[in-house]
Structure 1
Amino acid sequence: MSRVVGTHTCRPAAHREAIIVVRPVVRPAEPIKVVVTGAAGQIAYSLLYQIASGAVFGPDQPVYLHLLDIAPMMGVLEGVVMELADCALPLLTGVLPTANPEEAFKDVAAAFLVGAMPRKEGMERKDLLAANVRIFKEQGQALDKVARKDVKILVVGNPANTNALICSKYAPSIPKENFTAMTRLDQNRAQSQLAAKLGVPVKDVKNVIIWGNHSSTQFPDASNAAVKIGGVEKPVTAAVNDDEYLKSTFVTTVQKRGAAVIAARKMSSALSAAKAASDHMRDWFLGTTDRWASMGVISDGSYGTPRDVVFSFPVTISGGKWKIVEGLTITDFARQMLDATGKELLEEKQDALDVCKD
């Protein structure tokens, strides 16, 4: 670190002597390159400001944004670039809009894979998966070719868990643990539901877990969660004191929340998805302190889950590395839920691999 040396005197003139003051010069951090796919879409519209404002990578970390979308969306994307310029964000050092995956993924340190084929009316989940497998195969190949090997990748586009798995398969030079799927939105929803039930601020609820797939088979689990009430921390199960609620209404409300938002808003939950993506990547880069985060990560078989699928677990993060929380008790009810969502992920994996053979 460079130093600036100055002098300061504080004694009477007759006895004055120089006192050396050393002031460190803090050099600004080098910008990191961050890619967002589907950059002209609704989720990205909320996400880009959060990334560029410092809410994700920290208040002192400059970013250079790479924005990827399909060629027909370049006109819309140009408008997004204009708005980013008009925000006059001090941490935003540059913006690259492109329809070329290799250009977009070049040297990126973080990747938000938001863009995906949306589910349309009458479309089965298998149809959605088939359409998106091809997108994430191509993006995996581009990441493998040009991205940094320590790039942290968050898949938001659905079906997120299996898209992340396929992306990883086609980027063999990047560690599998660097590919994750977003279940933070489900965790935030679960945390919010419990806070409302207990009449406390959402910040006073922690360690709610989302197990498994980001789908209607996911298992929102409050059995290890804690809540602070009147300055005292206690188990959520004791505070709620309603086991039937925690196994039924709570679970189904979180599982179906996305559909409920669409029914009310006539559009998907873009704002909350962007916030969850920001939370996920911020924790991955900056750490989780005393709270757990739910992340879809490559399964090592922990808690009797299928290996080599992207499964949501509770994790802690330090130094940019996630670690699955160990030693939690799995009840008979939880076992049934974990098995059901694991079965779905195995079926999705097979369907996706079959598409890749075409």
Structure 2
Amino acid sequence: MNFQCEPLGQKIKILMVNPLVPSSQLILIKILSGSVFGDNVFIDLLLLVYSDKVATAETLKWELEKCAFSNTNSIQVTTNLPRPKDAAVFCIMSDFENPNYFDIDGMDNETQFDTMYLLIKFANYLEWTEDDEANDEKDRIKPIFVSDGLIAMDILFSLSKNLPRDLFFCPSPIEAISKSVLGDHLNVRFNQINEVRVWAANDRVFHVEVEKPIIITDSVGDGSNTECDRRIISKETLQSSKLDYTQFNSTWMRKEFIEKVASYAARNPYGCIYKAAEFAKSLKQIWKARTGGTKVCSNMGVISDGSIGTAKGCPYVMPLIFNGKSWKVNKCYEDNSYLKQEMKRINKAAEEEHQKVLVVFIIYFLNLSSFFVIWCSLSLLL
């Protein structure tokens, strides 16, 4: 008899911060069912909670174990703050009402305070120790920290002691919203829209470019027809969409299109299912680049390295190219004069958002015992 054997998959240790919120539980189901890391892996899962939430977390652990997901190796509940070497992937779910915009008025309740406090405590504990450096752990391990938005990512990087900026990531809804808006306007399917590039400080201040032609299957010719407006869309496609060139052109893309995307984003489309889907998608892309040996392009939140005129050390959403354990900013629009102009506006907003986070840190370190009281007072001032 001939037997065909496959090598056992690798073990991946994953730590979930704030696992009791609905979006975290949906992400855990995706991870343990193989939708993120693939089928041939074994997950060692750590659930980080407050000590008074251990009983609830144990119930969640029991439910996940009873699901008998094929990727599950072990599940543990912990209240101990981890070090960077304690997991390969750290999933941080803040569950803020808007995880990408620091709205102090939306964080004036005890639940939001508890989340912010947990994030600060967790981030403040992240550092490579002297023993790690002596044992080459710092060079051997390059963990992934994925949060649900720019706020949590900024907190983690700003308070961690000596972790490099290229470890931190977060998803962004702007790409999906942009394709949805264009699909509705042109009366085409979402997946027919060409590649979208996003540069953003948050969900209110951003810029979007779409590869030409706008519709992947569109035939725009050689651009000799000046009405085609730089080969954006064909005359036939406009007619089928019941539009003319005054209703869809490069000027519309820079103004009305951006306004429509901003209006949609302002409705706060952050339900737990949507957040979990975007989170899992981003984590899957990062892991694919690390293990698949292929380059992956994606719009994602990162801590800026100063590329294309951004403020180094501030959080942005940018078009990235992942290659192995590293990433770089896609500079295909680096020489675009309009993007350079827009980056001034985006930089200003990014620095302002970063300053808001720093103010909270100062309050936290000055008077931890009355942090919640001062936090509520701060909401009246900002």
TM norm structure 1:
0.76
Q: In the TM superposition, what whole-angstrom CA distance separates every residue of 1:104-140 from its partner, at most 9, and x where no partner exists?
A: x7621111111355469xx944874995765433222
| Correspondence for 2:264 | 257
Structure 1 position 238 matched with structure 2 position 230: no
Structure 1 position 109 matched with structure 2 position 88: yes
| Correspondence for 2:183 | 195
Distance 1:231 1:336, change over 3 A: closer
**SS of equivalent to 2:82:** helix
Supply the distance in 2 between the matched residues of 1:198 and 1:165 (Cα, whole angstroms): 37
Q: In the TM superposition, what whole-angstrom CA distance separates every residue of 1:272-327 from its partner, at most 9, and x where no partner exists?
A: 11111111111111039676301122222222221221221111112132221124
Q: Contact between 2:94 and 2:116, CA under 8 Å: does it hold in 1?
A: no
Distance 1:303 1:223, change over 3 A: farther
Bigger shift: residues 190-199 or 35-44 = 190-199
The amino acid that maps onto 2:50 is I
Q: Contact between 2:208 and 2:258, CA under 8 Å: does it hold in 1?
A: yes
Structure 1 residue ranges without an equivalent (≥5): 1-5, 8-22, 263-267
Q: 2:215 aligns with which of 227, 250, 253?
A: 227
The amino acid that maps onto 2:326 is K
Give the Å deviation of 1:218.
Answer: 2.6
The amino acid that maps onto 2:233 is A
**SS of equivalent to 2:305:** coil
Q: 1:67 aligns with which of 24, 28, 47?
A: 47
| Correspondence for 2:241 | none
| Correspondence for 2:299 | 294
**SS of equivalent to 2:62:** helix
Supply the distance in 1 between the matched residues of 2:212 and 2:164 (Cα, whole angstroms): 30
Structure 1 position 166 matched with structure 2 position 155: yes
Alignment of 1:30-69 (within 5 A): 30-69=10-49
Distance 1:27 1:272, change over 3 A: same
**SS of equivalent to 1:219:** strand
The amino acid that maps onto 1:38 is N
| Correspondence for 1:323 | 328
Q: Percent identity?
A: 18
Q: Contact between 1:208 and 1:224, CA under 8 Å: does it hold in 2?
A: no
Q: Contact between 1:206 and 1:292, CA under 8 Å: does it hold in 2?
A: no
The amino acid that maps onto 1:216 is R
Q: In the TM superposition, what whole-angstrom CA distance separates every residue of 1:44-89 from its partner, at most 9, and x where no partner exists?
A: 1221111111111122122122222334544443443233223221
Give the Å deviation of 1:24.
Answer: 7.0
Structure 2 residue ranges without an equivalent (≥5): 223-229, 239-247, 367-382
Higher normalized strand content (fraction of residues): 1
Supply the distance in 2 between the matched residues of 1:116 and 1:345 (Cα, whole angstroms): 21
Supply the distance in 1 between the matched residues of 2:44 and 2:60 (Cα, whole angstroms): 15
**SS of equivalent to 1:238:** coil
Bigger shift: residues 196-205 or 321-330 = 196-205
Distance 1:70 1:117, change over 3 A: farther
Structure 1 position 340 matched with structure 2 position 345: yes
Distance 1:119 1:261, change over 3 A: closer
Supply the distance in 1 between the matched residues of 2:231 and 2:71 (Cα, whole angstroms): 39
Q: Contact between 1:133 and 1:355, CA under 8 Å: does it hold in 2?
A: no
Supply the distance in 1 between the matched residues of 2:296 and 2:174 (Cα, whole angstroms): 16
Give the Å deviation of 1:40.
Answer: 0.9
The amino acid that maps onto 2:120 is K
Supply the distance in 2 between the matched residues of 1:50 and 1:63 (Cα, whole angstroms): 12
Supply the distance in 2 between the matched residues of 1:233 and 1:275 (Cα, whole angstroms): 37
Distance 1:66 1:327, change over 3 A: same
Q: Contact between 2:220 and 2:231, CA under 8 Å: does it hold in 1?
A: no
Supply the distance in 1 between the matched residues of 2:38 and 2:185 (Cα, whole angstroms): 32
Give the Å deviation of 1:94.
Answer: 1.7
Aligned residues: 326
Q: Please, what is the CA RMSD of the aligned residues? A: 3.6
Q: In the TM superposition, what whole-angstrom CA distance separates every residue of 1:188-247 from its partner, at most 9, and x where no partner exists?
A: 222333334444443343421221223311333325685322699999943674334423
TM norm structure 2:
0.72
Structure 1 position 137 matched with structure 2 position 120: yes
**SS of equivalent to 1:89:** coil
Q: In the TM superposition, what whole-angstrom CA distance separates every residue of 1:18-59 from its partner, at most 9, and x where no partner exists?
A: xxxxx7743212320112222111211221111111111122
Q: Contact between 2:215 and 2:233, CA under 8 Å: does it hold in 1?
A: no
| Correspondence for 2:359 | 354
Q: Contact between 1:30 and 1:61, CA under 8 Å: does it hold in 2?
A: yes
The amino acid that maps onto 1:248 is K
Supply the distance in 1 between the matched residues of 2:219 and 2:67 (Cα, whole angstroms): 40
